Amino acid sequence: MRLAIIGGGASAVTLMDALARSTPGEKITVSIFEPRAVLGPGRPYQEDADSALINRPADSMSVRHTDPLDFRNWLREAGRSGEFPSADPEARFQPRRLFGIYLRRRLAAAAAKLVVGGGAVEMCTATVEDVYSAAGRLVTLASTGVAEAHDHVVLCLGTPRPADIYGLTGRPGFVADPYPLSEPLPAGEPVTVLGSNLSAVDIAVALLRRGHTAPIRLISRNGLLPSVRCQPAAIDPAEAGQLAEAVQLTPPASLWTTVRRLLHGRLVAHGGSAHEMALDLAAGEPAAGRLARQLGRTDAADCWRAVLLPLLDPVGELFWQRLPLRMRESFLRRHNTSIATVLNPMPPATAALLLEALRTGALEVHSGITAVNASPGGGFMVTAAGKNHRAGVLLNAARATPYDPVEPAGRLLGRLAARGLARPHPCGGVYVDFTTNRVLGPASGLYALGHPAAGDIYYANAGSLLGISARAERIVARIRRGSTTGTTTLATSSTLTIGGRLDG
Ligand SMILES: Cc1cc2nc3c(=O)[nH]c(=O)nc-3n(C[C@H](O)[C@H](O)[C@H](O)COP(=O)(O)OP(=O)(O)OC[C@H]3O[C@@H](n4cnc5c(N)ncnc54)[C@H](O)[C@@H]3O)c2cc1C
């Protein structure tokens, strides 16, 4: 049996890990296609300064949803062997770089296990430009010109790259994609970041920790920073059961109203404040005031985020899938930007650093961006709320919803749609079967994992690896059940077999 995994980031690692842990069946040959030189870290977890931290606690960063502490335990083991002397395995938020190494190791271990079991793993340093059906199989066409037939193909394409809203790619001083964050920037040069989301915060923190001396400006439409992460409140199983039942049984048309009523009831019962919720979700509050207010609430048991989010987490996926499509579209259009600030919060230590920088003037946050123009003499002019801001260096962190048709993921999805193998989803990615992650269309062996499936499988904790890992297991269960035999290579393969690029 042949399996192609398109994209070599964290989703691919969860899939490989699930495959290696599954009951061995027919011998399997896996081809992983990824244009980056190193497999595993993907876009967010590349080699970076240790000051660039993951935004989620280490205890929920694992490639195995059945073992959320896997990363933490790996860190402890590495600490005991003295491998990363400067690392603190007990720190709640860990460097992105370390997580990237963990991903590489887990991928190498999974590949080795498959090889020991008689399988083969091939790494192809290339993008996949096309996938088509031939003789009942799926053929990948790589950028190297090599075509290979597979029984199953999984799209692990990641999130869209930042949107180039103002058409600035190629202009000197414009950084189209800021990851990894350790790229050198002149310390005395003012830096402007397009966006105020988590990526924008990551950039600001990396610069501040590096001792950047000139002002850093975050400029976006609403000027909303991510919320500050708070301690989740304990969940009463009876309440969780009631919500789960409502999400499963309420007719779709009244689902939104019913869930809102239940959440409101819990909020009131736990002394939570609707006013605090409205403040958190609305634009307009000055950034320093918002950070100070939320930092004062990180351990508050009645904070609405602590009360509601842990209850919603287990049912978020199903809730999203059962909502009528027009409601999902309307939610994304009207509420997603503000809800995303709550679902993807920043660590309190990050918030404290930003607050200090806002107070000293090292950081500014502006809303109301309307235009960015390249200046004739070099640099850029950013217009926000009627004021012009001159910028020499412009880092792009603008969130993109659809894939750009010129980036590899967008190109491939466009070809799949043109061939009728996938249908673009109005809420992102392509339509998939909710139970199996199979891409809806004529190809029974085509799947999507992670962001390409987000239209149907909204990750309540957007991009949660534990959620992705649970989905990877479903795909593996189906692949293992329905495998067919045979290998076809349609052209000379230039793939590498398992080797150095895997293990870090
Ligand atoms: C900037 C950023 C920061 C994040 N930070 C956090 C965080 O701190 N904590 C957290 O829990 N989650 C975070 N996330 C969420 C993140 O989505 C997941 O944690 C995880 O990285 C998703 O992995 P992935 O493999 O789906 O995507 P990626 O890691 O992006 O990997 C996708 C890969 O697919 C490749 N690819 C795309 N198209 C093709 C093609 N046609 N052919 C071949 N290869 C292709 C790309 O080169 C890329 O390497 C972050 C996401 C982003 C974008």
Give the mean model confidence (pLDDT) for residues 36-59: 89
Question: Euclidean distance between the first and final Cα of the chain, in Å?
Answer: 28
pLDDT in tens, 239-256: 899 999 999 999 999 999
Statement to judge: residues 414 and 319 lie in one domain: no
**Confidence band for 24, pLDDT divided at 50, 70 and 90:** confident
390 and 413 belong to one structural domain? no
Report which ligand 1 atom has the smallest distance to the Cα of 96: 8
- Judge if 98 and 142 occupy the same domain: yes
Please check whether residue 490 lies inside any domain of the structure.
no
What's the CATH number where 453 sits? 3.50.50.60
Give the pLDDT of residue 184: 65
So what's the pLDDT on residue 488?
A: 32
Separation of alpha carbons 61 and 255, rounded Å: 31
Which pLDDT score is estimated for 494?
Answer: 32
Same domain, 153 and 186: no
Model confidence at 495: pLDDT above 50: no
The pLDDT, as a whole number, for residue 493 is 32
Cβ < 6 A, ligand 1 pocket: 6-12, 33-36, 42-44, 54-56, 127-128, 156-159, 179, 199, 408-409, 412, 450-451, 463, 465
How far is ligand 1, taken at its centre, from the CA of residue 124, in Å? 18
Is residue 125 pLDDT above 60, yes or no? yes
Q: pLDDT at position 26, please?
A: 85
Amino acid letter, 463? G
Contacts of 136 (CB under 8 A, 6+ apart): none
Which ligand 1 atom lies nearest to the CA of residue 461? 11
Question: Is the dihedral angle over the CA atoms 35, 39, 42, 43 positive or is it negative?
Answer: negative
Q: How confident is the model at residue 463 (pLDDT cuts 50, 70, 90)?
A: low
Residues whose CB is less than 8 angstroms from the CB of residue 193 and which lie 6 or more positions away in sequence, other chains included: 178, 200, 203, 204, 216, 217, 218, 219, 394, 395, 396, 397
14: which 2 tokens? 């969860």
The residue contributing the CA closest to ligand 1 atom 46 is 7
Is residue 258 domain-shared with residue 391, that is, in the same domain?
Answer: no
Closest residue by Cα to atom 31, ligand 1, is 9
- Kindly state whether residues 196 and 249 are assigned to the same domain: no
User: Does residue 166 contact residue 372 with C-beta atoms inside 8 Å?
Assistant: yes
**Burial per residue of 315-342, b for 16 or more beta-carbon CB atoms within 10 angstroms, e otherwise:** bbbbbbbbbeeeebeebbeeebbebbbb
* pLDDT above 90 (res 55): no
Highest mean pLDDT among 149-158, 176-185, 392-401: 149-158
Cα–Cα distances in angstroms (integers) from residue 66 to residues 178, 400, 468, in the given order: 33, 31, 12
Which atom of ligand 1 lies closest to the CA of 451?
Answer: 26
Residue 126: left if φ>0, alpha if ψ -120 to 50, beta else—which one? beta
CA nearest ligand 1 atom 14, residue = 463
Cα–Cα dist 266/272, whole Å? 8
- pLDDT surpassing 70 at residue 459: no
pLDDT on residue 342? 93
Nearest CA to ligand 1 atom 5: 44
**147 lies in the same domain as 11:** yes
- Residue 47 confidence (pLDDT) above 80: yes
Residue nearest ligand 1's atom 20 by CA: 10
Q: Could you give the CA distance from residue 67 to residue 60 in angstroms, rounded to a whole number?
A: 9
Amino acid at the residue 255: L
Residue 13 Cα: closest atom of ligand 1: 25
Query: Which residue's CA is the nearest one to ligand 1's atom 52?
Result: 44
In this prediction, residues 12-16 reach a mean pLDDT of 98
- Cα–Cα distances (Å) from 334 to 254, 260, 308, 338, 464, in that order, read 19, 16, 20, 9, 23
Is 222 domain-assigned?
A: yes
Q: How far is the CA of 319 from the centre of ligand 1 (A)?
A: 24
Mean pLDDT comparison of 35-49, 129-143, 450-464, highest-scoring range: 129-143
Asked whether residue 445 carries a pLDDT value surpassing 90, the answer given is: yes
147 in the same domain as 27: yes
Residue 486, pLDDT above cutoff 80: no
Rounded to two decimals, the pTM is 0.91
Is residue 488 one of the residues assigned to a domain?
no
The predicted pLDDT at position 33 comes to 98
Is residue 309 domain-shared with residue 410, that is, in the same domain?
A: no
Integer Cα distance of 75 and 361 in angstroms: 37
> Does position 49 have pLDDT exceeding 80, yes or no?
no
Cis peptide before 180 (omega within 30 of 0): yes
Mean predicted lDDT score pLDDT of the chain: 90
Residues above pLDDT 90, as percent of the chain: 73
Residue 303, Cα to own-chain centre: how many angstroms? 26
Are 395 and 199 a contacting pair, CB within 8 Å? Answer: no
Distance CA 295, CA 272 (A): 16
Q: How many domains does the chain have?
A: 3
Same domain as 147, residue 46: yes
**Which protein residue's CA is at the shortest distance from atom 37 of ligand 1?**
157
Closest CA to 403 of 454, 342, 460, 337: 454
Question: Does 28 fall in a domain?
Answer: yes
Are residues 16 and 123 part of one domain? yes
Rounded to the nearest whole angstrom, what is the distance from the C-alpha of residue 152 to the centroid of ligand 1?
Answer: 21
What is the mean pLDDT of the segment spanning 259-263?
94
| Residue position matching structure tokens 């193998």 | 421
Residue 319 lies in a domain: yes
Amino acid 51: pLDDT: 76
| Complete edge-to-edge strand list for the sheet that includes strand 369-374 | 369-374, 380-384, 387-391
Side chain identity at 37, as an amino acid letter?
Answer: A
Nearest CA to ligand 1 atom 49: 42
Average pLDDT over residues 44-51: 83
Query: What separation in angstroms does the CA of 173 have from each of 75, 190, 377, 383?
Result: 38, 11, 12, 17
Residue 499 lies in a domain: no
CA of 12 to the centre of ligand 1 (A): 10
- How confident is the model over 400-422, as pLDDT tens digits? 778 999 999 999 999 999 999 99
Give the confidence band of 210 by pLDDT, cuts at 50, 70, 90: confident
For residue 18, pLDDT beyond 50:
yes
Query: Do 405 and 261 belong to one domain?
Result: no
Helix, coil or strand: residue 249: helix
Residue 485: pLDDT above 90? no
pLDDT in tens, 187-207: 778 899 999 999 999 899 988
**Is 338 inside any structural domain?**
yes
The per-residue pLDDT for 186 is 67
Q: Report how far apart, in Å, the C-alpha atoms of 499 and of each of 34, 84, 121, 503 are.
A: 15, 23, 9, 8
Task: Quote the domain boundaries for residue 53.
Answer: 2-160+401-483
Q: What is the pLDDT of residues 99-124, one digit of tens each?
A: 999 999 999 999 999 999 999 999 99
Has residue 62 been placed in a domain? yes
| H-state helical runs in 361-464 | 408-418
Mean predicted confidence (pLDDT) in 376-396: 93
**Residue 136: CB atoms within 10 Å:** 12
